Amino acid sequence: DGTLDPSATALAEIPKASREIRLWYRRGGGLAGNVAADTITTPKDPLPGIQVTNPEPATGGRPAENIENALIRGPQEFHSLHRAVTARDFELWAERNSGAVDRAKAQTKAQFWRYATPGTVEVLLVPYVPQEERGGGRITTARLRDLQSEAARDQIQRDLDQRRPLATALSVNWARYKTVTVKARAVAYKQENPLALRSRILEKLHLTINPLRTSVHPQGWSFGEALRAFHIYDSVIAEPGVSYLDN
């Protein structure tokens, strides 16, 4: 009848003793919000008999957007109208909807398998790695897998499901990676410092053969592109101190 009851009344079922309560939430704070697992152990308002922890690390916190990037993103926002029809629509939404994603690739399964169900779109994701962890372009597959948050993947799946055409089936997955080994022999000019040259070549190769966006590949290594010997030759021979490359 709209009147307030002065006595406390339960508005939902009260959890029984020793039950586990799980919550998912977002917070601001950029990179500072990416706390490690089991570090949130004190509730903001302590309650007797209640213990808290975060069993998984927080992910997705990134620095604030700069003006230059906002000027690029603005026209794209007007174009997309918050729906996903073209492959680029799926990719842009996946990349912007979660700070946990660095790159996304949308493709129809029929492109690669003639017996695939028509109208099935797969979106592959590459996790975001903070810049301070990318020293010299080095990044391991183990670290990439650590950052592949199931919560972020599920969030993107649900958001894209609300924006896809009705006749389109959708699956969102984290990308898979191939580990490669490069062995090459570079011959330096006589006046070149071999150790310094070797360091520059290694950094160039790490920045080239990389699933993330880098200064060498602003869009990242192309999804599904094979690594061939000429990629190595092109990358190494561009170093001014290299006379030639063999083996």
pLDDT (tens digit, 9 = 90+) per residue, 47-83? 888 889 988 888 778 888 888 888 887 887 776 667 7
Output the pLDDT for position 231: 92
Two structure tokens written together for 61: 């916190």
Estimate to the nearest angstrom the gap between the alpha carbon of 76 and the chain centroid.
20
Q: What are phi and psi of 211, to 5 degrees?
A: -75, -10
How many angstroms separate the Cα of 203 from the Cα of each of 85, 96, 134, 187, 227?
39, 29, 11, 17, 17
Report the alpha-carbon distance of residue 50 to residue 221 in Å, rounded: 47
pTM value is: 0.69
Work out the pLDDT band at 205, boundaries 50, 70, 90: very high
Average pLDDT over the chain reads: 86
Report the alpha-carbon distance of residue 153 to residue 157 in Å, rounded: 6
Top pLDDT among 228 and 115 is at 228
Each residue of 5-36: pLDDT tens digit?
Answer: 888 877 888 888 888 888 877 777 778 888 88
Work out the pLDDT band at 199, boundaries 50, 70, 90: very high
Output the pLDDT for position 24: 78
Q: What is the largest CA-CA distance in the chain?
A: 93
The two beta strands, 185-188 and 242-246, are: antiparallel
Work out the pLDDT band at 131, boundaries 50, 70, 90: confident
Output the pLDDT for position 133: 84
Three-state DSSP at 173 gives: strand
Output the pLDDT for position 80: 62
**pLDDT above 90 covers what percent of the chain?**
31
Two structure tokens written together for 62: 């990134």
Please give the average per-residue pLDDT across 123-144, as a whole number.
88
Please give the average per-residue pLDDT across 223-247, as a whole number.
90
Q: Which of 82-91, 176-185, 216-225, 236-245 has the lowest mean pLDDT?
A: 82-91
Output the pLDDT for position 81: 62
Work out the pLDDT band at 123, boundaries 50, 70, 90: very high
